[in-house]
Structure 1
């Protein structure tokens, strides 16, 4: 996606859509775009089109516009085309990114928010505290279910409408959670809100990939990944204080307020999926007399929604057992499970053992927020330093792994540090809190580095690889509220923490092994890309490339960066 324009054969529109293999390349020709709107409606339409993503369509009226086509005669973005999401103004890109990250913050904050008020849920709805933990479990199971259909739908219909529909469902089901009279209704509402919220987690990275070039996308992805950890860490803090002064329902009232504010911003979110933007542009151009033959690549492809679902539901499971994907998925599952265990561990350490109340007892989680920010900042600085260094060779996916190597060692060390300082009340509370801060730093380092490593390694299959990892880690994390209390009651904080730390030690060599042997593993993989010499395409690659004989480079790039997940 580094340069969408460089490999294209650009053809200037000469009044008809040329047939494949019979292309005439005339001298540069321009024409005037006509519209069907009366002049008195121009002001109103300007507002509507600016809001709902017809960028510059009205400003081009009465001006000469040059059209560009690929070698198959299909409409493509021209150089510096303002309708290309990559060419949006920086301010507009930042706004779109802010809206996307707001959606992610809603999803992640909501995932953990009720954990600070489980006692209130237990007392009011007459269930055990352990059963009340199902409100987190069901939400995370929704994370597993949602990507299986939100991602294919976004690929077929575009990102904007999937955001509209899914987040409206999230808001509606949030009312069910806030006002339900019984525990069953709360559990149903939590599963449905988790399913709806997962669309933000799968589509937001795609939006970022749509509008930011590779030189800036990495930094924006760091911001996105940091938000995925800041949200869950803040949730229990807010709900813990609400539990002191109000009922558990106030946690869901706050979630509704956040969702309502985000829904308002969402109205102005434009479509950013390149093939959908081209489709809309082609439809607009066809309204002009004599331009009825202009077609976007997606309009002549033979892809079907059923075919997209088939790939989305089967390919991730085959990719899951590819060596790189498999070991990263295991690592992710342990890390993500521990993240959600922390929301049960911190109350054990600071409320049950030290006697703090539900509000103050959640405050040490602020340390994990700081730690997540430290991790994101460290990767940003590392990226800037590496960018300034002269390179003697072409970058390879393994160049990303030093961050995960540091994070892996830190992950194991900080787990033991936290566990054995939290075991004894004689140790000052700040010591395990600082340990938790650096534990969060290690989690962010592992998460961000490996997600980029997966995307670089699997290229056109990255979407499926990320989907497989997402489902596995969410499924494992969903179980954490059900066993954490029993595990720490039986083994103590030190013993249970040492068990987790031992698993972290076993996983610690993974980034080192991939750093040393990753190129060899990728070369032997059916799905991963080789280091230097391109390998012959597999049967699956041929099938994917034959999805449409006229698939545009934007479509191939979309598959390559894995933005559907």
Structure 2
């Protein structure tokens, strides 16, 4: 079928634009993007893509920073609201439980209404409930506010990967996803550092004032965020075209589909639990749960090691967490370099999902080793503080390696069911991490830093074979699964394939799969 570029010299009126615009339709007669269509999110200018990505990552940073920020000022919450320090830890627990609840309805709503409006609504709720946290007169109000802000903030973690998939092609998306995943670890690590120093001079409420300032600045940026979900962009384009005389019958595919919001919710609330018990999804979820729980335990472990044992104040005692920020960046950089090296190698065969696992294999071994390293050097005050700090740096590196590699492995293995598999993993790991503030202090009081760390390290050793087993037998496991794909990994197209795609701009199966990332399927 013929396709000609849109004319840009037409008058600005909607009707004239619709008359002069030459359209592309699929074989069913529905409106589609054509090659080089400027309204296709994949064809946005590079600068615009970078801006959209920056806004999405800012939303993620708000969510992850907020999740851990109050842990540096729990003593202030305890003193002011007359609860124990352990009870004050519920401000983190309730926020992470909101992480569990939120994706179950934000993802379906995003698929039905588009990404932009869900971002607007959820983040406005986050900002509003942030005021409740900052100005509440009692502990019950603080807990309610934290649960609601966690629920609202989870929309960013659900939708941001989808935005990245909407605007970046396969050849660049992997690097952008590394940036996104690194932000999910940098945010929690910085939160306690900021609140720890605020605790020295101000009340605990200043932690929430800072969160409100961050959210307010991001809300302003959010106003300029366009819709990026392709099917909704096509719908808006069709609505505009229908205003032109003679174009009243133009319809986008989504406008003639029989999907309903109830049907989308049914899938979103049932399929993740069925996928959770599929072998690959199950063992990755267990691994994720342990790793993510330890991540949030660190926000209690570092004060034990550097404040309770060494006598540092709440500000300086949180500074070693900056080492985990550096470690997260090292992990992201290592995966970026590895990806560039692999991309330049000649392909002897088609790639498979298991090709991603060497990073997790290295990360798994490093995870176990660095836990023991951190625990037993932190046990003794005679050991210089820099030694456990460096151990924590490489512990964060291992966590990022495991997280990023396995999230990509899940997406490659489950393809069209990837969003459900990721949702199941997200709910389980958030639920486990939510409990960490409630038992960490008791655990380390009873076992000591070395003993408690060894218990966690022993669990890491038991989990260490998982990426090795999947690397060796993953193809067989996928072949026997009802949900996993036995096909090769989607890869960036060659020049010949790009030329072929220009002749037929229909979305490929891989592209449809990529759009599912971050939404319910």
Deviation of 1:71 after TM superposition, in Å, equals 1.1
Query: Is contact 1:202–1:564 with CA below 8 Å preserved after alignment?
Result: no
Q: Partners in 1 of 2:182 and 2:493 — Cα distance? A: 36
Deviations 1:339-359 (A, max 9, x none): 000000000000000000000
Q: Partners in 1 of 2:392 and 2:46 — Cα distance? A: 36
Equivalenced residue count is: 521
Highest RCO, 1 vs 2 (Cα 8 Å, sep ≥ 6): 2
Q: Which residue among 310, 316, 337 is the counterpart of 1:360?
A: 316
Deviation of 1:55 after TM superposition, in Å, equals 15
Query: Is contact 1:297–1:550 with CA below 8 Å preserved after alignment?
Result: no
Q: Partners in 2 of 1:239 and 1:50 — Cα distance? A: 52
Deviations 1:486-535 (A, max 9, x none): 00000000000000000000000000000000000000000000046999
Q: Which residue among 219, 229, 236 is the counterpart of 1:263?
A: 219
Query: Is contact 2:293–2:433 with CA below 8 Å preserved after alignment?
Result: yes
Deviation of 1:193 after TM superposition, in Å, equals 0.1
Deviation of 1:65 after TM superposition, in Å, equals 2.4
Q: Which residue among 99, 102, 106 is the counterpart of 2:55?
A: 99
Query: Is contact 2:71–2:89 with CA below 8 Å preserved after alignment?
Result: yes
Deviation of 1:557 after TM superposition, in Å, equals 3.3
Distance verdict in 2 for CA 1:429–1:533, change over 3 Å = closer
Query: Is contact 2:14–2:243 with CA below 8 Å preserved after alignment?
Result: no
Deviations 1:45-91 (A, max 9, x none): 99999999999997994984221111111100000100000000000
Superposed counterparts of 1:37-48, under 5 Å: none
Deviation of 1:552 after TM superposition, in Å, equals 9.3
Q: Partners in 2 of 1:115 and 1:548 — Cα distance? A: 54
Distance verdict in 2 for CA 1:322–1:376, change over 3 Å = same
Q: Which residue among 130, 140, 155 is the counterpart of 2:96?
A: 140
Higher deviation after alignment, 539-548 or 458-467? 539-548
Query: Is contact 1:68–1:78 with CA below 8 Å preserved after alignment?
Result: yes
Deviations 1:370-421 (A, max 9, x none): 0000000000000000000000111110000000000000000000000000
SS at match of 2:264: helix
Structure (1 or 2) with the larger CA radius of gyration: 1
Query: Is contact 1:222–1:380 with CA below 8 Å preserved after alignment?
Result: yes
Distance verdict in 2 for CA 1:413–1:212, change over 3 Å = same
Q: Partners in 2 of 1:532 and 1:179 — Cα distance? A: 53
Distance verdict in 2 for CA 1:47–1:473, change over 3 Å = farther
**Is 1:175 matched up with 2:134?**
no
Query: Is contact 1:301–1:548 with CA below 8 Å preserved after alignment?
Result: no
Q: Partners in 2 of 1:385 and 1:147 — Cα distance? A: 35
- The runs of 5 or more residues in structure 2 that have no matched partner are none
Higher deviation after alignment, 432-441 or 553-562? 553-562
Deviation of 1:94 after TM superposition, in Å, equals 0.1
Query: Is contact 1:151–1:203 with CA below 8 Å preserved after alignment?
Result: yes
Residue 186 of structure 2 is matched in structure 1 by 230
Query: Is contact 1:49–1:55 with CA below 8 Å preserved after alignment?
Result: no
Distance verdict in 2 for CA 1:540–1:52, change over 3 Å = closer
Deviations 1:410-469 (A, max 9, x none): 000000000000000000000000000000000000000000000000000000000000
SS at match of 1:47: coil
Distance verdict in 2 for CA 1:535–1:271, change over 3 Å = closer
Q: Partners in 1 of 2:80 and 2:462 — Cα distance? A: 43
Distance verdict in 2 for CA 1:560–1:190, change over 3 Å = closer
Q: Partners in 2 of 1:438 and 1:459 — Cα distance? A: 31
Structure 1 length-normalised TM: 0.86
SS at match of 1:60: helix
SS at match of 1:48: coil
**Is 1:337 matched up with 2:300?**
no
Higher helix share: 2
Q: Partners in 2 of 1:235 and 1:70 — Cα distance? A: 49
Query: Is contact 1:461–1:562 with CA below 8 Å preserved after alignment?
Result: no
- The runs of 5 or more residues in structure 1 that have no matched partner are 1-44
**Is 1:559 matched up with 2:484?**
no
Query: Is contact 1:455–1:562 with CA below 8 Å preserved after alignment?
Result: no
Distance verdict in 2 for CA 1:507–1:542, change over 3 Å = farther
Distance verdict in 2 for CA 1:175–1:547, change over 3 Å = farther
Query: Is contact 2:3–2:24 with CA below 8 Å preserved after alignment?
Result: no
